[in-house]
Amino acid sequence: MNATIDQTILDRANIWLTGNYNEETKRQVRYMMENDPVSLTDAFYRDLEFGTGGLRGIMGAGTNRMNQYTVGMATQGLANYLRKVYGEQAEIRAAIAFDCRNNNTLFARITADVLSANGIKVFLFEDLRPTPELSFAVRYLKCQTGVVITASHNPREYNGYKVYWNDGGQLITPHDKNVIEEVLRIRSIEDVRFEGNPSLIHTIGEEVDRAFLEKSCQQSLSPEIIRQHHDLKIVYTPIHGTGVRLVPMALKAFGFTNVISVKEQQLVSGDFPTVHSPNPEEGAALGMAIQKAMETGADLVMGTDPDGDRVGVAVRNEKGEFILFNGNQTASLIIYYMLRQWSERKKLTGKEYIAKTIVTTELLKDMASHFGVETFDVLTGFKYIAELIRNLEGQRTYIGGGEESYGYMIGDFVRDKDAVTACCMIAETAAWAASQGKTLTGLLTDIYVWFGFYKEKQISVTKKGKAGAEEIQRMMGQFRETPPEAMDNSRVVRIMDYRSQTEHNRITGEKTPIPLPTSNVLQFFLEDGSKITVRPSGTEPKIKFYFGIRGTLGKAEEFEETDRKLEMRIEAISRSLGLS
């Protein structure tokens, strides 16, 4: 069997057989060497990459796997960087949380041990907690860093390790690159201090929960309306994850008294036994919750992903049927409600702003402009919204923000996606709509009538292997060198090239700089207000096309016909780009 395996792979695997690794790890390596050369190659052909967001990979033995040794090496690199940056301080602090995934308590403990072995005071949550609470805890406990063990919505065989800085946001420049450099310097587990210092590890739990929930409740804008509609029937599912305790607690604290659980999905499990994927972007993940809502006559369905930072929503339409909202639609409802309330309650002073990622619907910007509120666009990733908030702190007031991939952040007490508070704000928006005799679908239709009908869709084209990667780069090159003049008979009036950080106004000919970090993304804005974004995926062999099409909705009764026409427009533009 060994003859079929590259010698370099065998040499790397043999280090794990002869080194200071535990017997279970060695057993797994021996099994792969004797029976599974494909798995052995994948497990050892490289080191698991510590990227700008941390680690993410399949669990198991090997240098390219999530295990106690790769976690330990990553943590030692982080500790070394913390000592360099904060070495003169009397105390360095770190907060650690973990979600429901298999091996998470082990990986969290390894992280705590290594940090404490390096003289860093550790605050370790007693049990699983949502990622937004970890972000909150970093600032609440005055920590210099935070780590959450999670693979978000990835399949059950994955796990991950996300690092946060002292503002509660994920690592950004220069800390992301600097931590990576330190991690790369750890070449062996012999470089890792695994023996923890118990006196430096402190268990945290209910105190932080209470503080988090208090801040969450402070985001409520209409407590009197919640009191009137406190019995709004809500079905909530944590999909086996961290929302199981805190989301119902938060909804209750807001004032909602009729929250219905999905018993089968209350089970905390990294195996996610009732779903193929614990991803609330996929309709099937909310299937059981929708069924429960149909049985109980509920009005609203919400489901959060395993680490509680994203939420999917299903609501009844005007026919009483349950439909799924996409991330842009949910963000539009939340932001409209908040803007409306801030305006009616005389809270707007001219210094407020919202934030969204560049691929998120332009409807948010149109609504904010109507209320005299500025919109800031950032690159994909909530760490950039956190950076924006930090840079504007004390100067401007952040209201809220979101991204198309089901992440929302209400207020600035958390510096990452927060499905806990988002669930409460979605429910409050539904109560406010009910106070006007409307459903959330009815409210969304009204928004489309007032501001324009925005319809979004994403199409991903997979190009595998080296040849595929080269083809994706050729496609991006062609779009840059010969950008389209028009799409479906609507002129391209503005081009945003985030790699060259240049905005080109085709009407005036003016070129202006884009004040954002460089990124391999192109955006084409059409004369009718539509937006088409093209970007290669950073994690998959895909090139992604984001369509944001704008139309006019004269009245609510024309919704279905207008929706059909916009879908046809997306198909026409897709064909013009050679995608179908």
Residues labelled as active-site residues:
152
> Residue 458: which residues within 8 A CB-CB, separation 6 or more?
404, 544, 545, 546, 547
Whether 204 and 125 have beta carbons less than 8 Å apart is answered as yes
Residue 60 CB neighbours (<10 A) = 19
Residue 148 CB neighbours (<10 A) = 34
Q: Which residues pair with 5 in a beta bridge?
A: none
Question: How would you write 105-159 as a 3-class SS string?
Answer: HHHHHHHHHHHHHCCCEEEEECCCCCHHHHHHHHHHCCCCEEEEECCCCCCCCEE
| C-alpha 322, offset from chain centre | 25
From its phi and psi, is residue 280 left (phi > 0), alpha (psi between -120 and 50) or beta? alpha
Q: What are phi and psi of 524, to 5 degrees?
A: -120, 120
Q: How far apart are CA 117 and CA 67, in angstroms?
A: 19
Q: What are phi and psi of 291, to 5 degrees?
A: -60, -40
Half-sphere exposure of 291 (CA within 13 A, CB side): 10
Type of residue at 526: L
Q: How far apart are CA 124 and CA 202, in angstroms?
A: 6
Residue 366 CB neighbours (<10 A) = 18
Whether 348 and 342 have beta carbons less than 8 Å apart is answered as yes
Rg (CA), the chain: 25
Q: Helices (H) and strands (E) in the chain — how many of each?
A: 18, 23
Q: How far apart are CA 563 and CA 386, in angstroms?
A: 34
Q: Which residues pair with 520 in a beta bridge?
A: none
| C-alpha 136, offset from chain centre | 16
- The CA distances from residue 27 to 16, 22, 24, 406, 456, in Å, are 10, 9, 5, 41, 49
Residue (of 164, 143, 134) closest to 92 by Cα position: 143
Residue (of 10, 439, 20) closest to 194 by Cα position: 20
Q: What is the largest CA-CA distance in the chain?
A: 75
Q: How far apart are CA 386 and CA 389, in angstroms?
A: 5
DSSP 384: H
The length of the chain is 580
Residue (of 539, 523, 522, 524) closest to 462 by Cα position: 539
